[in-house]
Amino acid sequence: MLVLVSHEGETPLTLEAARAWRGPRWLVTGRADGPIADLCDEVVVCTPGIEESWCHTASYTCAVAAIAALHGEDIGWLPGAVEEALAADLPVVGEQERFVVAGAGRALPTAHEAVLKLREGAWVAAEAYETEQLLHGYLAAVDESVRAFVLEGEGLVAERAAAAAAALRELGCEVDLLPTRHPVVDVVLFQRLTVELAEQRGREPDRIRRHDPRWAAAAAAAKADNSA
């Protein structure tokens, strides 16, 4: 079985994958109809509507929760945990324009989603690394100008996360070692931090910079090249 994820239900590469797959297809989406839904045996609508912001937040957390539920996981506790994450204090961030987020295991996708939000909404240079990867060659390009976050995890992952945080502090980085609960919950801090940074720095967080003619032209050029 192939499980496809597309918030608007028409992502070209996802549509291509659906067409190529010969087995059962399930779609996790924000739309009950559309070209991908038409090809699928089951459609799971996990959000009440299509997000107006292009810097997607709820569609990500809802899709992750839906996939967890499809896998048999009890997700009944997640809404309360998300409410707690929404009410928690945010880490203090200075004037840094470069960010690193590290994680391992199931926290690694959270790290990637975190930097995507920071780049899309706050326009900062953010990078995601697997924790062990960061501790090797990639650390050479990190210094005190970087604001760092390390997702803790459990067991050996937590031990390496602590080691990564120690290494980053030794380099002069401001670092937060963040406890992890669930991917749906852990990403909320970064969604909120993106909005906070955008407001502090006078940046428009919802249009992934497409309101600026330069970035609009870049997006149009990429689209034209892809259709050529």
**pLDDT tens profile 13-72:** 999 999 999 999 999 999 999 999 999 999 999 998 999 999 999 999 999 999 999 999
Residues 2 and 18: beta-carbon distance below 8 Å: yes
**Of 31, 41, 37, which is closest to residue 8 (Cα–Cα)?**
31
- Count how many domains the chain has: 2
- For residue 61, the domain's CATH number is 3.40.50.10490
Q: What's the CA gap between 98 and 205, in Å, rounded?
A: 17
Amino acid 223: pLDDT:
85
State whether the Cα torsion 87-92-94-96 is positive or negative: negative
Q: Is residue 23 one of the residues assigned to a domain?
A: yes
Instruction: Report how far apart the first and last C-alpha atoms of the chain are (Å, whole number).
Output: 32
Q: What is the pLDDT of residues 129-166, one digit of tens each?
A: 999 999 999 999 999 999 999 999 999 999 999 999 99
Cα 151 from chain centroid? 13
Q: Which domain holds residue 99?
A: 94-201
Tell me the Ramachandran region of residue 124: left when phi exceeds 0, alpha when psi lies from -120 to 50, beta otherwise: beta
